Structure 1
Amino acid sequence: MRNGLINAVIAYTMWGLLPLYWKWFETMPAGEILSHRIIWSFVFVLGIIAVQKRWREFKQTLKNWKSLLPLAVSSVLITTNWLIFIWAVNNGHVIETSLGYYLTPLINVMLAVLFLREKPNRGQWLAVALAGAGVLLVTIDYGSFPWVSVSLAFSFGLYGLAKKRVTIDASIGLLTETTIVVPAALIYWSYLGTAHLDTAWSLPAASLILLLLSGAATALPLLFFAKAASRLPLSTLGFIQYIGPSITLILSVLVFKETISSVLLISFTLIWTALVVYAMASIRTPRAIQSAKAK
C-alpha cells in the first residue's frame, strides 16, 4: 500500500509538471508531437527491457491474447489522451486540462463501483460529493460543455481500469502498449517527411534534444502509474490524482497567465477538502477492519 502511494505521488507530480515540457514545442502540430512522443517512448522502454534482458517475457506477452487485448485497449486510450492533452496545452487550454484531471477521480470511483465492485464507505462518498460539487462549479463557470476536460477524464479513467485488468510487469506492459501504436506513429512520421510538413528537425538544438527525451518524460510517469495501479484500489488511485491537476492549475495561472475566477478558487477549495476527507476515510477503514478482527 505504501509503495503504491509513493509511486502514485511521483507519477502525478510528474504529470502535473508536463505542461511546462510541452510548451517548448507549441509551434509544432499536436499530431507531430504525438508521433515523436510514441516513437521515443518505444525506444526508451525498449532500452529498459534490453538492459534487463527480458525479451522472452516480452515475446510471451505478445502471444498471450488475454494480456494483449486489455493492453491494446489501454494503448488506444492513452494515445487519445496524449493527443488531446498536447493540443490543449499548446492552444491555451491548460485550465481545461486541469479540470479534466479533476474529473477523472470521479470517473474512477464510478468505474470502480460498476466494474471492480469496490464499495466506498460513507466518508469516501462524502469526498466524492464535495469533489463533484467543485467540478460542477467549474463547469458552470466555464460557460460551455468542456469537451477537452470530459475527453481527458474518460480516456484516462478507462485507461486506469484497463491497467487494473493487466497483471504483467509495468515496463513489459508499457513496451507492449507502445509497440501496438508505434507503426501508426512511424507511418505518420514518414508522411510528414515525404510531404515536407515536418517541423521537428528544424527546431533549435536544445529543443530538439528535449523532443528526443520526450520518451523518458512520457514513459517514466506511466511506469510509476502502472506500479501504483497494481497496488492501490482504483478509487484511491483516482483521488491521489488531484496532485497532478492542482500543479497544472497553478502553472496555468502563474506561468501561462490564464485567468482564474473566484468560482474556480472556491471549487479548488472544495476539491482539496474532498481529498483530505477521502484520505482520512481511507485510513480509518483498514484500522476499523483490524480492530474488528482483533475482537
Structure 2
Amino acid sequence: MQTAERQGTHQLPQVHEPRNPGMALDMDRVLSQRVNRSAVERRAATLPGRRSVKKAHQAAWLARAISCIDLTTLAGDDTPGRVARLCAKARQPVRADLLDAIGLPDLTVGAVCVYHDMIAPAVKALDGSGIPVAAVSTGFPAGLSPFHLRVAEIGESVSAGASEIDIVISRRHVLTGDWQALYDEMRAFRAACGEAHVKAILATGELGTLTNVARASMVCMMAGADFIKTSTGKEGVNATLPVSLVMMRAIREYYDLTGYRVGYKPAGGISKAKDSLVYLSMVKEELGDRWLRPHLFRFGASSLLGDIERQLEHHVTGAYSAGWRHAMA
C-alpha cells in the first residue's frame, strides 16, 4: 500500500490532526463575534517592529516559510509546460548548493495550487514527491456561477487528482447576514470534497468589516472547513495583518470550543521574506508552535519564494544577487 508521502498527502491536516468534522450552526456564538477594530489595528501595528531574527535563526525561519508555501499559478495563459516548470521549482525551491549549506537538502514547498485544467499536468510533474496539488474551485474567484456547477466542479477536481480544494464563499451571504445560507453552502462544499481537504476563501477585502470576517470565519469552521483563507489574490485588498489577527483568534476560539485545529492561509500581497517572518511570528504568538507546520499554515504566494531564496543566498554567501537569478520556473 502506498504511503502518505507517495500519495502526495503528507502535508494534509487530516494526516497529522483529527479532521475538523464541523458542528451544528450556533447562531448565538456567531453573533457574539464582535471586533474592536482600533484595538486590532494597534496590536497588528506592533508586530513588524517587535520581532527580529538574524543569521542562522533567520535562515531557519525562512526555510520554514518555504515549507508552508502554496506555490501558485492562476493565470489565463497557464500551460502544461509552465505548470511543469513550477512543479520542478516546488520540488527544489532553492538552489541545491544553498539547501546543502543550510542543511536542508530535501526541503520542498507545501503544495502547488492551480486551476482545474492544470491539475493533471501538476499531478504528473509532482508524482512521487509527496507534494499535494491544490485546485481553486467553485467559480473562483467570484463564486457567482450556479450552485450545482460549483459543487460539480469540486467533484471534477477531486477526480482529476487534487487533494486540496480552495473554495470561495458567496460574499453576499456575509454582507446580508444570512449565516444559515453560508453554513449550508460550506457544508455542501465540504461534502463534495470527500477525503480532499478544503480551504474556505473568505475574500476578506470584500466583506466590509472585521466583525464580518470573524463571523464568516466561525461559520465556515462550524461547517467543517479544514483551513480558512484570507483572499483569492484577485481582490483590491488581500491578506493584511489586522484581518489575519481576527481570523487567527477565531481559530483559537474554535479550538477552545471543539478541540479541533483548523489551519490558516494568508494569500495575496505577501511577496517579501521579511513579511513572511511577521506572519510566522503572529502564528507563533496567537496560535502556538503546533500551527507552524504546513498541515496547519500556508502562504498563498508565488513571488515570495524568489525573495526568500535571495535572502538565503545572502546568508550563505554574504552577497545579494539579482532577482532574475531566482526565477519561479
TM-score normalised over the length of structure 2: 0.25
> Which structure shows the higher helix fraction?
1
- Which structure has the bigger radius of gyration? 1
> Which structure shows the higher strand fraction?
2
Looking at both structures, which has the greater relative contact order when contacts are Cα pairs under 8 Å and sequence separation is at least 6?
1
